[in-house]
Structure 1
Amino acid sequence: MQSTEMNETDVNQNVVVIGASHGGVNFGFSLRQQGWQGSITLVDSDPELPYHRPPLSKKTLQSEECLSTPLKAEKAYTDSKIDLRLGVTVDAIDRENKQLTLNGGESLPYDKLVIATGCSAFIPPIPGLLSQSKYFAMRTFADVQAIQAALNESNDKEVVIIGGGYIGLESASSFVSLGAKVTVIEKQEKILSRVTSSVMSEFLSDLHVSKGIALETGKDVVEIKQVGCKQLVVCGDGSEYSSDFILVGVGVRLNTQLAINAGLVVEEGIKVNGVCQTSDPDIFAIGDCTKHYSTVYDRWIRLESVQNAVDQAKGAAQFLAKGTSPAPVVPWFWSDQYEYKLQIVGLSQGYDELVVRKEDEGQFSVWYFLGERLLCVEAVNHTKSYVLGTQIIKKGLLVDKAAISDSSVALSKELIIKQ
């Protein structure tokens, strides 16, 4: 990886961004705010004015009008002299001539290129699934519109969700609020088994069951049958679940094919350095499609989060405009399910001990350690734990585990930090 400083002539060059979601839009505006005088073009295949993604499975799905929430007003792009080209697909990157081939054959030149293509929903090759008209993912505003239409057309409002990850669970809570009968089918024995502990998995399982969700774990979907106007979801153990439509939430595909075809280094994500440069110093990549080295966790990681996309966008913009590198950041995430807000800071993978701190009813936090080092905090309806955990992880402080687990000890830095 190369880190080349920008010189004064670079500010008069043109930057093209492929992808106008959180990463691409934040990059464009950050670059302009930091003094970039050259042209900025955002290209995206989605025809909708760029919008917030997290509300799709929550507020957007639940709203009667089903309106997207724009990241920026349309006028803001004009005012910032950002050329927004929507409904346009990039077919190829020509690194030698520094130009893109767009659908329809048009060429678009660049001096600096940013790839912010994110992920697409992975649709598993389940027999009978692709031949059904009523299966959906939860990735775009168009997906939500189609899901709402299917729900409104349904008399029984039976929904089967394949996959018990965060998207599936958030969608399940929204469907319940809309009066649907929901079944969640998860292949693993526990929901979220790859990303959290048994403590959090069991809490969320009990929560969803208490809200009327039929939670079926340890089951592999092997076939989808059409029975009249219903879809019958068949599992390997012979169990069957009726649905008016199916939501698929089993994972994602990285949108890295453009980078692969262009000869960039891609290893479970487009590999980037600390300022988001790829193996080509004139091409940057940000967001879910990237893999970067975390100095906080001393390993290569790939993150699917708005926070990471925005942080990388701002860091790459800072480097392009100023030639300086951004400070390391600690990953954070969140999930809203029913009346509960789960806030996560850090990465729990590799922990060897966890400490649970219970606050008032419906409030608790899980603290993940590797030896004496705090790796991650998951806080349910308790922002204070999340904020304090962020400070500790960012500064590499050591804490008193006994004080954390004792709810009679006030949760403050002065009381839990080891001197």
Structure 2
Amino acid sequence: MNIVILGAGQAAASLAAKLRALGHRGGITVIGDEPAPPYQRPPLSKAYLLGQMGLDRLTLRAADWWRDQGIALHLGERATGIDRDRRVVATERGEYRYDQLALTLGAAPRRLPAAMGGDLPGVHVVRNLADISGLKPALVAGRRLVVIGGGYIGLEAAAVARKLGLEVTLIEAAPRILGRVAAPETADLIRALHRAHGVEIVEGTGIARITGTAAANGVELADGRHLPADLVICGIGVAPETALAQVAGLAIDNGVATDAFGRCSDPAIWAAGDCASFPWADSRLRLESVGNAIDMAETVAANMLGADIPYIPKPWFWSDQFDAKLQIAGLNLGYDRVVTRPAANGGSVWYYRAGRLIAVDALNDARAYMIGKRLIEAGRSPEPKTVAEAVELKALMA
């Protein structure tokens, strides 16, 4: 059986490795449009951008591993179509036949339209190696940076730039930062962290446009103010890569739609990682995280070989900002109550829905993260009052 994996990121590397670990001896071909072999994305905007990690540590597998495993890497090669009848993937360079195809296409950063100055030189996004190569030379101490977007992408970019000595202003159109992904209590901790490091945060204010002619020179806000800038970073989220799947006639629903096993509407095609949505709690869910990319890809690999194991996510996330680490366990969707616990230089926020513990945010509090994660995975829910008042967190496991 010949398997083609389209996309060459974390999910692709995990899927290919799992196929071999499970004993698949047929062909495996990985096709990616970037020239670099599969690499970690999270350190790109942090350790790699700061010069603390080289490309050799960023890559997920050494070149000889792919060769030894008999996995064909086709890099810097853009796919142009999927012919489902012939079971062929077409690229700029040729065609690749498959018995089974896995889509691990990831997601692409959202960009401001050209009418708002989104295409001006000096306007950056942070997603891949090429983005970082273009951004890194511009991050010069003393320059003025405006970051658009108060989600994790924008906040992490702001933190790195401030550490490098830039003057940083972050703009969030919603009433507060992290409005879609975290409780106000977590946002308060992160806002205080950034302001303590000299980042100016403007919330509840949209932008009218990025100004400049030959290059970006500032950001005009919706209230008429103008913020001078030497460069701008747009951190306004990502969108799943679905164009190839859509043209091929596959079902699309907040990403490439899969069943509980990772199979697409065509039974010969599977999907995993940032581009894929799957059934969850009477709806559909798409997760943008390293953990999901690895776990879903490994489940899909097993199912391609006949395991028939439903994918049950065990969500975990993290975000490094300045010298602080925010660790997140579970999903806070639909929470109706939170309780907080203070900790040195941070604290934890515990989310409940209908009396059930569903998620924990822990800033500089690894113990709260680990215990919260174990409780959630075990389906155990200590009373909110107990969480708030417990002297020792380990008592919650009793």
TM-score, normalised to structure 2, is 0.95
Instruction: Report the Cα offset of residue 39 of structure 1.
Output: 0.4
- Give the Cα–Cα distance (whole angstroms) in 1 for the partners of residues 311 and 256 of structure 2: 21
In structure 1, the residue matched to 2:182 is 196
- Give the Cα–Cα distance (whole angstroms) in 2 for the partners of residues 32 and 181 of structure 1: 48
Instruction: Report the Cα offset of residue 189 of structure 1.
Output: 1.3
Structure 1 spans left out of the alignment, 5+ residues: 1-12
Query: Number of residues paired by the alignment?
Result: 397
Task: Give the one of 258, 266, 269 matched to 2:244.
Answer: 258
User: Contact 1:318/1:326 (CA < 8 Å) preserved in 2?
Assistant: no
In structure 2, the residue matched to 1:51 is 39
User: Contact 1:184/1:213 (CA < 8 Å) preserved in 2?
Assistant: yes
In structure 1, the residue matched to 2:29 is 41
User: Contact 2:121/2:214 (CA < 8 Å) preserved in 1?
Assistant: no
- Give the Cα–Cα distance (whole angstroms) in 2 for the partners of residues 230 and 100 of structure 1: 39
Instruction: Report the Cα offset of residue 212 of structure 1.
Output: 0.6
Instruction: Report the Cα offset of residue 417 of structure 1.
Output: 5.6
In structure 2, the residue matched to 1:114 is 102
Task: Give the one of 395, 398, 409 matched to 2:381.
Answer: 398
Task: Give the one of 109, 114, 126 matched to 1:138.
Answer: 126
In structure 2, the residue matched to 1:344 is 328
Instruction: Report the Cα offset of residue 380 of structure 1.
Output: 1.2
- Deviation per residue, 1:154-180 (Å, 9 max, x gap): x74111111111011111111111111
In structure 2, the residue matched to 1:210 is 196
Amino acid corresponding to residue 323 of structure 1 in structure 2 = A
In structure 2, the residue matched to 1:377 is 360
Instruction: Report the Cα offset of residue 140 of structure 1.
Output: 0.3
Map 1:170-181 onto structure 2 (within 5 A). 170-181=156-167
- Deviation per residue, 1:74-98 (Å, 9 max, x gap): 1110011100000001100000000
User: Contact 2:122/2:216 (CA < 8 Å) preserved in 1?
Assistant: no
Q: Does 1:331 align with 2:319?
A: no
- Deviation per residue, 1:171-222 (Å, 9 max, x gap): 1111111111111111111001111111011111111111111111111111
1:122–1:71 Cα change, 3 Å: same
- Give the Cα–Cα distance (whole angstroms) in 2 for the partners of residues 65 and 340 of structure 1: 18
TM-score, normalised to structure 1, is 0.91
In structure 2, the residue matched to 1:416 is 396
Task: Give the one of 345, 348, 354 matched to 2:338.
Answer: 354
Instruction: Report the Cα offset of residue 330 of structure 1.
Output: 1.5
User: Contact 1:127/1:222 (CA < 8 Å) preserved in 2?
Assistant: no
Map 1:3-152 onto structure 2 (within 5 A). 13-63=1-51, 67=55, 69-104=58-93, 106-125=94-113, 127-152=115-140
**More displaced 10-residue stretch of structure 1: 120-129 or 349-358:** 120-129
Instruction: Report the Cα offset of residue 384 of structure 1.
Output: 1.8
User: Contact 2:153/2:237 (CA < 8 Å) preserved in 1?
Assistant: no
- Give the Cα–Cα distance (whole angstroms) in 2 for the partners of residues 230 and 330 of structure 1: 42
Task: Give the one of 273, 297, 301 matched to 1:313.
Answer: 297
1:85–1:206 Cα change, 3 Å: same
- Give the Cα–Cα distance (whole angstroms) in 1 for the partners of residues 296 and 165 of structure 2: 39
User: Contact 1:358/1:407 (CA < 8 Å) preserved in 2?
Assistant: no
In structure 2, the residue matched to 1:389 is 372
SS in 2 for 1:205: helix
- Give the Cα–Cα distance (whole angstroms) in 2 for the partners of residues 231 and 65 of structure 1: 31
Instruction: Report the Cα offset of residue 327 of structure 1.
Output: 6.1
Task: Give the one of 224, 234, 239 matched to 2:220.
Answer: 234
Amino acid corresponding to residue 362 of structure 2 in structure 1 = A
User: Contact 1:363/1:381 (CA < 8 Å) preserved in 2?
Assistant: yes
Amino acid corresponding to residue 76 of structure 1 in structure 2 = W
Instruction: Report the Cα offset of residue 256 of structure 1.
Output: 0.3
1:227–1:46 Cα change, 3 Å: closer
